[in-house]
Amino acid sequence: MANTSLNLVSLDFDTIKANLINYLSSQPTFQDYNFAGSNLNVLIDLLSYNTSLNAFYLNMIASEMFLDSAQLRSSVVSRAKELNYTPRSYKSSTAIVNAVFPQPNPPLSIFNIPAGTSFSGKNANGSYTFTTDNNIYLYPSNNQFQANLQIYEGSYATDSFVMNYGIEGQQFILSNMNVDTSTISVVSVENNGANNIQYQHASSLFNVSNTSPVFFVQAVSDTSWEIVFGDNAFGRTPLDGSTILATYRMTSGTDGNGCSNFSINTNLGPANGLSTAPNYTLTVLANSYNGSNAESIESIRYNAPRAYQVQERAITTRDYETLVLQNYADAAAAHAFGGETVSGSVDYGKVYVAVMSQSGVPFSGIEKLDIQTFLSDKCTIGITPIVIDPDYLYLEITSSATFDSNATTNSIVDIETSISNAIQTFNNANLIGFNKVFSLSRLEEAINGAESSISSNQTTTIMRKDIVPSLNTPTSINISYGNPIVAGSFSSTVFVSENRQYMYTDYNPNNNTFTLVQNSGGGVSVVNSTNTVYLQDVTNPSAQNYTAVGTIDYSMGTISLSQITITGLGDTQSPSIQFTATPAEQDISVNGNVVVQIDLSNLNISANPLSS
């Protein structure tokens, strides 16, 4: 019969020891025994430690058996493997350069740029090696050789293995971890070199027969990678004793992004029968981009079950989003929607995919085209994917914090820096992605927690939309904040039209439609009874004119402006006109392909000591 004095719920040391003592005390032999002052206390400690250690060990083992709770990378990778998910490897950044080689003397009929030609690229992190991935042959035109080259960051390495049927479960693990797995090339050298069989990378068993020379790549612990061959039922196994040569590119991942200054390291003279290195000119068409590091544990945990649902095809909008996040490490979030849902301009047969980058900077045209081409191979016939930028709603933050100077040794500058860091952390934790809600009260709470001496803060928010106009072209502008705005707060930056400077505003001091209304809470609001937007002529500050040019819906936060030809911008450093408005509510929500982001480069922060 079970002893009811044993508690099997809590497994910490103190509880286990108390349970053992309670159990022994319930026995007639030890009923009046003083356990604390006896040698038996040491034995009870030993039993308690052993039980607690075993409980902890078994709990950790159980946790590692499930994708949701596993903490070790090897466990997460193993669980993901059951879902047929291969984590992202390191990926080389790509740059596009235009190379021009003058016709040498004596002239050449063809110019060769061999595979593995080395380039040097520089960015803020330092200098990196870039290489070509195949042989490139150029033909003369206008007395020169010219081509747009795609070059990839990293250098090549080769691992060799010997196939040994005598080793059960033989593994072919690559010796480097920072491998771009998309570049792996495998050759089986058989019959003492009489046959060299090129193996092709396969990601599934589709169209794989027992004679198909294919290999598979799977992840092992610590971001290492293993080459796996078929079993002669699905995929050909190399012959016993054959030499396996695996060549691949090693890369620095994200560190190689943003290189904009390139030069050629390899002397191309010998490859073209020249005694000296040929002259050349390199023009950068696209700075290096799309380099990424190995996929993180949390990313694998998130993507593996979703990739299992997608099965490498894009049918639903969620499939498009999952494929982008699975294959592009620089994508922080994605939102897909059908062209038939576009308000006002229905576009059947299109799927729009808005992709947000990790840095918040919009993807370049080349990067978006790369994603679009990738998705085109995954979607059904008749569907065209189009990659677009998210519709950014920026928030300009002004915060004045009060702190107790007696409770800290930090200077005002230190406290203001801590507040800036807290705002950045808040933005990254709460606003990266789509369908997010900005809460002013939660931001104020984060600011108060930035420094223990801060007692309170007064924080205000202004919403901003940036519109890049088509210059010298008649254009109608429509703006949507998606949130209610305060009457009299809408305005724009200065722009030029017909040699005069203008800005938009919904407040006209010369118009009696603007009235002040007393609120029930005691405050005062500005009311624009005609919902009119004005074009304010600011060419001459002493004589400003207002012309009605549009309408505004304050409850919806939408503005419609009549057609205008813009010939220039007041701020020559900015390519856009900035439209700002004060939100009528503290919480700001967005949906669809709209992303709300705090403008971290435009924070207005001040810290003030408490007055005595």
On the question of pLDDT at 187 being above 80, the answer is yes
Three-state secondary structure of 478-511: EEECCCCECCCCCEECCEEECCEEEEEECCCCCC
Residue 226 clears pLDDT 70, i.e. is over it: yes
Q: Using one digit for the tens of pLDDT, what is the confidence trace for 394-430? A: 999 999 999 999 899 999 999 999 999 999 999 988 9
Residue 219, both tokens? 């992840």
Residue 161: enclosing H or E segment and its boundaries?
Answer: strand 155-162
Residue 341, C-beta contacts closer than 8 angstroms, at least 6 positions apart = none
What length does the chain have?
612
- Whole-angstrom distance, CA of residue 180 vs CA of residue 201: 13
- 192 torsion bin: left (phi>0), alpha (psi -120 to 50), beta (else): left
Question: What is the helix (H) or strand (E) element at residue 110, kind and residue range?
Answer: none
Q: Rounded mean pLDDT of 313-319?
A: 89
- DSSP letter (8 states) at residue 278: P
pLDDT in tens, 143-153: 999 999 999 99
> Cβ(132)–Cβ(113) under 8 Å?
yes
Taking residues 368-388, what's their average pLDDT?
91
pLDDT for residue 143: 93
Angle among Cα 99, 104, 105 to the nearest 5 degrees reads 175
Nearest residue to 249 (alpha-carbon basis) of 269, 273, 268, 225: 225
- CA-closest candidate to residue 396, choices 490, 466, 461: 461
Rounded distance between C-alpha atoms, residue 519 and residue 486, angstroms: 13
Q: In terms of pLDDT, which residue wins out, 524 or 543?
A: 543
Range from 305-309, 449-453, 468-472, 581-585 carrying the lowest mean pLDDT: 305-309
**Phi and psi at residue 520, to the nearest 5°:** -65, -25
Q: What is the pLDDT of residue 102?
A: 94
What pLDDT was estimated at residue 515?
A: 61
Mean predicted confidence (pLDDT) in 575-600: 92
Dihedral sign, CA of 565, 567, 570, 576?
positive
Q: What is the pLDDT of residue 1?
A: 42
**In the structure encoding, which two tokens stand for residue 586, read together?**
């503290």
Residues 243-251, mean pLDDT to the nearest whole number = 96
The DSSP element (H or E) to which 331 belongs, if any, is: strand 331-338
Q: How far apart are CA 116 and CA 32, in angstroms?
A: 84
> Hey, CA dihedral for 163, 165, 167, 168, is it positive or negative?
positive
In the chain, the percentage of residues whose pLDDT exceeds 90 is 61
SS (H, E, C) 513-532: CEEEEECCCCCEEEEECCCE
User: What is the C-alpha separation between 260 and 601, in angstroms, rounded?
Assistant: 23
Q: What percent of the chain has pLDDT over 70?
A: 94
Cis preceding-peptide flag for 106 (omega within 30 of 0): yes
Distance set, CA 104 to CA 97, 143, 145, 269, 582 (Å) = 21, 9, 10, 10, 65
Q: Is 258 left (phi over 0), alpha (psi -120 to 50) or beta?
A: left
pLDDT confidence of residue 445: 94
Residue 518 has pLDDT above 60, yes or no: no
Identify whether the C-beta of residue 275 lies closer than 8 Å to the C-beta of residue 310.
no
The mean of the pLDDT values for the chain is 89
Say which residue the tokens 């200098």 belong to: 127
Q: Angle at CA 152, nearest 5°, toward 151 and 157?
A: 125
Most confident by average pLDDT, 9-13, 55-59, 70-74, 571-575: 70-74
Which tens digit of pLDDT belongs to each residue from 83-118? 888 999 999 999 999 999 999 988 999 999 999 999
pLDDT in the model for residue 523: 52
Least-confidence region, from 233-247, 428-442, 523-537, 594-608? 523-537
Two structure tokens written together for 353: 């995919």
Q: What is the dihedral of CA 178, 181, 185, 190, to 10 degrees?
A: 90
Give the separation between CA 207 and CA 234, rounded to whole angstroms: 9
Taking CA atoms, 431 is separated from 87, 358, 444, 594, in Å, by 26, 12, 15, 11
Q: What is the pLDDT of residue 521?
A: 52
**Separation of alpha carbons 172 and 246, rounded Å:** 9
